[in-house]
């Protein structure tokens, strides 16, 4: 501990009083902690007084072997940089938001003269109207379904739209107005687009009044089929409003964030409000120390949450937080418009934030119950396979290929909190020595690459990414391959279990293989068996999905794509001259040299590429 204090003191000599961000780094170059300070010298000096530190922080000081600093112009800039660095380095001693996915939007795409409506993620590069964020893909799908029912906008791609010669099924079931084949004029279709835009902008009542008026007019003129169309659109809009459990027309652009702590864990629930409508909610479970207060967790969550997400005008929270004014300034700077952070005290906003807090409490109760059940299952695995302790990290491996082509391996990870999808990995099989379909060789390559890298990154083997159990999809052959790979790396002590499909590939008849043990089965109704099957099935899902994606990508790849010094023009000349990529690969240097734009030296390069 004294070593850590001395190291920190050594930096104080040349450390100025400017605001900035500091990083505390341990012996293996991993970042332990990222912090920000109004005065770097004063803040870092606090770590040299051990009596004033908690046990957790004192341990961090003990592990510190170096520090790095970045000065900023203001404390506001330091706060923004701190959030960015925490998400990049994921330090062990920081409060950490683990789920960092982008949110989906609804896009009315205006790049085509006949706009379409679609789900969108990522950068807003296309010309059009963006509505969101929505909490989840399912929330977007519900709204898209409503837009199809109420406004009959097209959802097909531009290429499909241009190639249609007759209406598709969506027109038959009244989900599209078929502008592709002229079933609706451009003027009338653009009117539908405007109405959909108004609806998503919060003018649903105006749209309903307009639809009601048109329905009555059509009915008075005895155009009953048209009246029925507007009746169905009104029903669709009514369905959306019935799903809106909590609406507030005053919340034009607001996020409601409530944190609830119990049993050393915290759930942060976020509700998204745009144009007075609730566009879904999502629960987060930040990683933090058990002793940290809910206001600390909430403040850290907000600064990290909006690091790569669009900011609303208003953020309502359920707990007071320190440095609220600083946080508002930082968010305002990032959004380039005024952002307020408010803890409601009365009225409709207070009622809503209480509802959000109740959702956070309920979500945390469910998670604690699920974690308890998960722990019991992990304890059952430890007992079944004779492990020294309850496993906190199980890695499951599987391979996929078609007659040896597009071969890849995959690893999924499960622990106390369930599947850890951020830790999933794919391995493109690279070895040229493997014969097509050599499952044992593929498994050996995957395990070798996985643990060679782990040994490079963590030679002392004291990090969290070492498995307590390897579960392999396969039988005796896979077990031998894995054990051989681990033995070559000096990792014989990692427990390995293979799970092989039973007779007739029926679930419940699986055979389990372990070192120095005869194959055995579990009782069909054993909860541990169900859990192991679920792990195996998740590995199947991941590896097969990855394999399909790779196969689809390879279908569009040409033999000529990786040729050195051959761009699109030369590739075109080669294909026009020889007729196919296969013919190019079989051609001699003299024939290649006859192609426009292919010099003698380049012809030699191309020939050598195909004939190493």
**339: its two tokens:** 């952002």
**6: its two tokens:** 């001395």
pLDDT for the residue numbered 74: 93
| Span(s) in the chain for CATH 3.30.420.10 | 253-365
Residue 244 in this model has a pLDDT that exceeds 60: no
Confidence of residue 39 (pLDDT cuts 50, 70, 90): very high
pLDDT for the residue numbered 362: 93
pLDDT for the residue numbered 360: 94
Phi, psi of 575, deg, nearest 5: -70, -40
Q: Identify which has the larger pLDDT, 471 or 148.
A: 471
> What pLDDT digit, counting tens, does each position of 210-219 carry?
888 888 888 8
Alpha-helix residue ranges (DSSP H) falling in 204-346:
204-220, 224-243, 294-305, 324-335
The percentage of residues in the chain with a pLDDT greater than 70, rounded to a whole number, is: 92
Q: If residue 466 lies in a helix (H) or strand (E), which one and from where to where?
A: none
Cβ contacts of residue 203 below 8 Å, gap of 6+? Answer: none
pLDDT for the residue numbered 400: 80
Residue 320 in this model has a pLDDT that exceeds 60: yes
* CATH architecture under which domain 393-550 falls: 2-Layer Sandwich (3.30)
**453: its two tokens:** 């890298």
| Span(s) in the chain for CATH 1.10.150.20 | 568-610
pLDDT for the residue numbered 124: 83
> What pLDDT digit, counting tens, does each position of 472-492 carry?
998 899 999 999 999 998 898
Rounded to an integer, the average pLDDT of 521-526 is 86
Residue 501 in this model has a pLDDT that exceeds 90: no
Half-sphere exposure of 493 (CA within 13 A, CB side): 3
Rounded to an integer, the average pLDDT of 177-182 is 91
Q: If residue 125 lies in a helix (H) or strand (E), which one and from where to where?
A: none
Rounded to an integer, the average pLDDT of 127-131 is 88
Contact by Cβ (8 Å): 119, 144: yes
- Which regions of 416-501 does DSSP assign to beta strands (E)? 418-419, 425-428, 469-473, 496-500
Rounded to an integer, the average pLDDT of 175-189 is 90
| Span(s) in the chain for CATH 3.30.420.340 | 393-550
Residue 247 in this model has a pLDDT that exceeds 70: no
- Pairwise CA distance, residues 334 & 308, whole Å: 10
pLDDT for the residue numbered 252: 80
> What pLDDT digit, counting tens, does each position of 74-92 carry?
999 999 999 999 988 999 9
Confidence of residue 502 (pLDDT cuts 50, 70, 90): low
**34: its two tokens:** 């990222």
Burial class of 578 by CB neighbour count within 10 A (0 to 12, 13 to 18, 19+)? middle
Residue 249 in this model has a pLDDT that exceeds 70: no
Residue 242 in this model has a pLDDT that exceeds 70: no
Rounded to an integer, the average pLDDT of 19-35 is 93
Q: If residue 268 lies in a helix (H) or strand (E), which one and from where to where?
A: strand 265-274
Task: Write a three-state SS string for 64-122.
Answer: CCEEEEEECCCHHHHHHHHHHHHHHHCCCCCCECCCCCCCCEEEEECCCCCCEEEEECC
Residue 496 in this model has a pLDDT that exceeds 60: yes
What is the number of residues in the chain? Answer: 612
Beta bridge partners of 144: none
Contact by Cβ (8 Å): 288, 96: yes
pLDDT for the residue numbered 307: 85
Residue 520 in this model has a pLDDT that exceeds 70: yes
Confidence of residue 28 (pLDDT cuts 50, 70, 90): confident
pLDDT for the residue numbered 508: 64
- Pairwise CA distance, residues 242 & 258, whole Å: 24
Rounded to an integer, the average pLDDT of 413-440 is 84
Q: Which fold has domain 2-89?
A: GIY-YIG endonuclease (3.40.1440)
| Span(s) in the chain for CATH 3.40.1440.10 | 2-89
Residue 531 in this model has a pLDDT that exceeds 70: yes
Residue 423 in this model has a pLDDT that exceeds 80: yes
* CATH architecture under which domain 568-610 falls: Orthogonal Bundle (1.10)
Residue 142 in this model has a pLDDT that exceeds 90: no
Confidence of residue 507 (pLDDT cuts 50, 70, 90): low
User: Vertex 157, ends 151 and 159: CA angle to 5°?
Assistant: 130
Confidence of residue 428 (pLDDT cuts 50, 70, 90): confident
Residue 555 in this model has a pLDDT that exceeds 60: no
The percentage of residues in the chain with a pLDDT greater than 90, rounded to a whole number, is: 37
Residue 54 in this model has a pLDDT that exceeds 90: no
pLDDT for the residue numbered 358: 94
- Pairwise CA distance, residues 401 & 536, whole Å: 17
Rounded to an integer, the average pLDDT of 531-554 is 80
Residue 102's alpha-carbon distances to 99, 105, 121, 200, in angstroms, are 9, 10, 7, 20
pTM (two decimals): 0.68
Residue 522 in this model has a pLDDT that exceeds 80: yes
Specify the CATH superfamily of domain 253-365.
Ribonuclease H-like superfamily/Ribonuclease H (3.30.420.10)
- Average model confidence (pLDDT) across the chain: 86
Half-sphere exposure of 344 (CA within 13 A, CB side): 21
Comparing C-alpha atoms, which of 331, 339, 312 is closest to residue 253?
A: 312
Confidence of residue 552 (pLDDT cuts 50, 70, 90): low
Residue 102 in this model has a pLDDT that exceeds 80: no
Residue 557 in this model has a pLDDT that exceeds 60: no
Q: Identify which has the larger pLDDT, 313 or 547.
A: 313
**102: its two tokens:** 């982008």
Comparing C-alpha atoms, which of 554, 563, 568 is closest to residue 587?
A: 563
Comparing C-alpha atoms, which of 333, 216, 272 is closest to residue 104?
A: 272
pLDDT for the residue numbered 405: 60
């Amino acid at each position: 501990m004294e070593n850590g204090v001395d190291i920190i003191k050594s930096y104080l000599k040349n450390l100025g009083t400017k605001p900035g961000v500091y990083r505390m780094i341990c012996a293996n170059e991993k970042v332990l902690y990222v912090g920000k300070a109004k005065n770097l010298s004063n803040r870092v000096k606090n770590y040299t007084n051990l009596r004033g530190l908690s046990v957790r922080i004192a341990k961090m000081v003990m592990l510190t072997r170096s520090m790095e600093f970045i000065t900023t112009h203001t404390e506001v800039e330091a706060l923004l940089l701190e959030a960015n660095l925490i998400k990049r380095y994921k330090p062990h001693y920081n409060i950490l938001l683990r789920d960092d996915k982008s949110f989906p939007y609804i896009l009315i795409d205006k790049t085509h003269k006949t706009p379409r409506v679609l789900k969108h993620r990522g950068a807003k590069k296309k010309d059009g109207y963006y509505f969101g964020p929505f909490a989840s893909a399912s929330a977007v799908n519900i709204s898209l379904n409503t837009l199809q029912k109420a406004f009959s906008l097209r959802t097909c791609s531009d290429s499909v739209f241009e190639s249609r010669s007759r209406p598709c099924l969506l027109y038959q079931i009244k989900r599209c107005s078929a502008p592709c084949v002229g079933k609706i004029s451009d003027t009338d279709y653009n009117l539908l687009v405007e109405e959909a835009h108004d609806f998503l902008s919060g003018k649903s009542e105006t749209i309903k009044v307009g639809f009601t008026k048109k329905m009555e007019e059509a009915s008075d003129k005895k155009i009953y089929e048209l009246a029925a169309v507007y009746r169905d659109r009104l029903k669709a809009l009514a369905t959306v409003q019935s799903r809106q459990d909590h609406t507030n027309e005053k919340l034009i652009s607001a996020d409601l964030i409530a944190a609830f702590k119990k049993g050393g864990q915290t759930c942060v629930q976020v509700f998204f409000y745009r144009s007075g409508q609730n566009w879904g909610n999502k629960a987060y479970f930040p990683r933090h120390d058990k002793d940290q207060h809910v206001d600390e967790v909430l403040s850290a969550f907000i600064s990290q949450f909006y690091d790569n997400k669009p900011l609303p005008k208003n953020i309502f929270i359920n707990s007071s937080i320190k440095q609220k004014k600083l946080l508002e300034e930082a968010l305002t700077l990032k959004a380039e418009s005024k952002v307020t952070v408010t803890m409601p005290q009365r009225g409709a906003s207070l009622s809503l934030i209480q509802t959000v807090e109740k959702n956070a409490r309920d979500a945390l109760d469910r998670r604690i119950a699920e974690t308890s059940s998960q722990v019991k299952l992990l304890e059952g695995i430890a007992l079944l396979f004779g492990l020294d302790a309850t496993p906190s990290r199980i890695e499951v491996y599987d391979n996929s290929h078609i007659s040896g082509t597009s071969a890849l391996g995959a690893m999924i990870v499960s622990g106390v909190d369930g599947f850890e999808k951020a830790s999933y990995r794919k391995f493109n099989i690279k070895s040229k020595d493997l014969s097509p379909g050599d499952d044992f060789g593929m498994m050996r390559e995957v395990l070798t690459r996985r643990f060679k890298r782990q040994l490079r990154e963590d030679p002392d083997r004291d990090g969290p990414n070492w498995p307590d159990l390897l579960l392999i999809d396969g039988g005796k052959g896979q077990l031998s391959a894995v054990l051989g790979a681990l033995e070559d790396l000096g990792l014989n002590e990692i427990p390995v279990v293979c799970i092989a499909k039973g007779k007739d590939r029926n679930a419940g008849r699986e055979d389990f293989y372990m070192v120095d043990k005869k194959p055995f089965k579990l009782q069909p109704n054993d909860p541990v068996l169900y859990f192991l099957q679920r792990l195996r099935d998740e590995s199947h899902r991941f590896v097969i999905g990855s394999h399909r994606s790779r196969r689809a990508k390879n279908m569009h790849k040409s033999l000529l794509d990786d040729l050195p010094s051959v761009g699109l023009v030369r590739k075109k000349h080669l294909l026009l001259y020889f007729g196919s990529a296969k013919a190019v690969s079989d051609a001699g240097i003299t024939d290649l040299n006859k192609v426009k734009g292919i010099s003698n030296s380049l012809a030699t390069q191309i020939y050598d590429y195909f004939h190493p």
